[in-house]
A and B are shown apart, each in its own frame.
Chain A
Amino acid sequence: MDKLIYTAMSGANRSMLSQQVHANNLANVNTTGFRADYERAHSYAVGGDGFSTRHIAVPMGVGSKFSPGVLEHTGNELDVGIRGEGLLAVQVNGQERYTRAGSMHIDEQGILMLGQFPVLDMDGQQIEIPDYRSISITEQGRVSVVPDSGGEVLLEVATLKRVKPETANLVKDAEGFFRPRTAAASLPADDTVAVASGFLEASNVNPVEEMVAILTTSRQFELQVKMMKTAEELSQASTRLIRPA
């Protein structure tokens, strides 16, 4: 059988994976702090006999786009959006992970949480918030409260750990949080990352771009299936030619 069918198949396969990546981006068009994923493929020469005409498409690493999303005003003082580059540190299954989705809350033990994971302070520790009358978070991530006991005196509780790594070195883990590509335990804190309390960053998915990508991959897929069909026809033709009369 002609190898054409396998090259066409690798292309069709790539189109399906690519479409899933774009579908995932679109499904997360309203997810706070979501970073859209890239999809790309790499041409890979298949060795063997004959001319070196066979190159199959191998889907490659999905990086994420770090273009900023819109900061939307929510008025909730425990929502933080990150201005410019940077990420917040949270503890996921005992390890430090990073995210741009800053919708925090305080759990029943008074721990500052992001979803079901504790938010970390500059020393990589969980943050415990005492009973308070009001809470505020400054641009530098300092969390202060007016405690329920002591008048109007602001009590500084902790500073949110923010990091600013090279975004090219970040990968998403299975939970959707970012981690360094190398196995480094944790990234150093960076005090220059500014946060905005009362804001949340929207997803940075560009819906038009994703829609166009979906439609393009659909058509590419059709072309690749057509190539498979052609390969089948060619094969049938040669079978007919050499069939004994």
Chain B
Amino acid sequence: MQGTLFVSQTGLTAQDAKMTAISNNLANVNTIAFKKDRMVFNDLFYQKQFQAGAQMDSQNQRPNGLQIGTGVQVIGTQKMFVQGTALTTGAETDASIIGKGFFQIEMPDGTTAYSRDGQFHVNSDGMLVNASGLPLIPQITIPENATGISIGTDGTVSAVVAGSAEPEELGNIMLASFINPGGLEPIGGNLFIETQGSGAPNEGVPGEDYFGIIKQGTLEGANVNVAQEMVDMIATQRAYEMNAKVMTAADEMLQTLNRML
């Protein structure tokens, strides 16, 4: 059958996938610490019709081969870990990471998930938890009579307790980092989990090495560039239309063949 039909089909599929990624990026434009996705496309394999140097007849050889592409392939998505915009909130349990690290969050099953979202809350037990109520690792418990919490750039959490002039040290927030953060698997809820592709996490103290520092009273916004996404959306829509047009053209050719002969 007509190879063109299948080639244009791969084009339509790829543009459709790209559109889904763009709409997801735009939908999360106000999600704290959201990292945008980028679609990665590759050309599909090439069919070799004739080998260069093949004999055309007893005397002549083909100077060139002929190989025909079979379309486009969606290789996958790539999370872009560019720093998001800094949002100042002033809330004392908000923290953002300036640098490469991740907060460590304990999942209900005991495993560790990683997040850049530092919008913490204090639960009924006084523990620092994320917006879904999952505790931070290492656990930090705020005493009931605390009047103010402060988080240092190195992750030291301390609280001023009523009736005491000296702030009380409550613990340290530790960060994790990955050699290839792009390989982390997003599981929703602003969380990522380790995969083979990301490598094992390295745990460290904020401000040391390459983990980045913690800024209290700020949050990291999504790193989605709205204008860029809109432009990508228009380009993708037009590419989709053109691939659909190719499909029609190929279909008309087959129709002609059937009608005339």
Interface positions of A (Cβ within 8 A of B)? 12, 15-17, 19-32, 34, 37, 44, 58-63, 74-76, 101, 103, 105-110, 115, 131-133, 148-149, 171-176, 181, 207, 210-211, 214-215, 217-218, 221-222, 225-226, 228-229, 232
**Known A58-B56, A108-B179, A108-B199; contact A176-B42, beta-carbon cutoff 8 A:** yes
Interface residues of B in 3-58 (CB under 8 A from A): 3-4, 7-8, 10-11, 14-15, 18, 38, 40-46, 48-50, 52, 56
Q: Is the CB of B45 within 8 A of A176?
A: yes
Q: Which residues of A contact B261 (CB under 8 A)?
A: 225, 228-229, 232
A26 CB to closest chain B CB, in angstroms?
Answer: 5
Q: Is the CB of A19 within 8 A of B180?
A: no
B257 interface residue per 8 A CB criterion: yes
**Known A174-B46, A211-B242; contact A24-B236, beta-carbon cutoff 8 A:** no
Q: Which residues of A contact B64 (CB under 8 A)?
A: 60-63, 171
Q: Which residues of A contact B235 (CB under 8 A)?
A: 30
A232, closest chain B residue (CB) = B261
Give 15 new A-B contacts, CB below 8 A, not counting A27-B69, A27-B72.
Answer: A20-B4, A23-B243, A28-B72, A30-B14, A30-B41, A59-B50, A61-B65, A105-B180, A108-B196, A148-B209, A174-B67, A176-B45, A176-B69, A221-B257, A222-B256
Choose, from B87-95, B134-142, B145-153, B247-255, the stretch at the interface. B247-255
Q: Which residues of A contact B10 (CB under 8 A)?
A: 27
Q: Is the CB of B2 within 8 A of A16?
A: yes
A110, closest chain B residue (CB) = B179
Q: Is the CB of B7 within 8 A of A23?
A: yes
- Going nearest first, the 8 A-B pairs with the smallest beta carbon separation are A61-B64, A27-B11, A24-B69, A108-B199, A176-B43, A133-B210, A23-B7, A148-B210
A28 to B66, CA, bound (A): 19
Q: Which residues of B contact A27 (CB under 8 A)?
A: 7-8, 10-11, 14, 69, 71-72, 243, 246
B249 interface neighbour in A74, A108, A218, Cβ under 8 Å: A218
A115 to B74, CA, bound (A): 12
A210 to B11, CA, bound (A): 14
A244 to B198, CA, bound (A): 83
Q: Which residues of B contact A101 (CB under 8 A)?
A: 42
Q: Is the CB of A107 within 8 A of B180?
A: yes
Q: Is the CB of A207 within 8 A of B242?
A: yes
B70 interface residue per 8 A CB criterion: yes
B18 interface neighbour in A30, A60, A75, A181, Cβ under 8 Å: A30
A44 to B61, CA, bound (A): 12
Q: Which residues of A contact B71 (CB under 8 A)?
A: 23-24, 27-28
Q: Which residues of A contact B43 (CB under 8 A)?
A: 24, 28, 31, 34, 176
Interface positions of B (Cβ within 8 A of A)? 2-4, 7-8, 10-11, 14-15, 18, 38, 40-46, 48-50, 52, 56, 62-72, 75, 78, 80, 82, 99-100, 179-180, 182-183, 196-199, 202, 209-210, 235-236, 238-239, 242-243, 245-246, 249-250, 252-253, 256-257, 260-261
A217 to B246, CA, bound (A): 11
B213 CB to closest chain A CB, in angstroms?
Answer: 12
Q: Is the CB of A26 within 8 A of B242?
A: yes
Q: Which residues of B contact A149 (CB under 8 A)?
A: 209
A63, closest chain B residue (CB) = B64
**Known A19-B250, A32-B41; contact A211-B14, beta-carbon cutoff 8 A:** no
Q: Which residues of B contact A176 (CB under 8 A)?
A: 42-46, 69
B223, closest chain A residue (CB) = A75
Q: Is the CB of B66 within 8 A of A214?
A: no
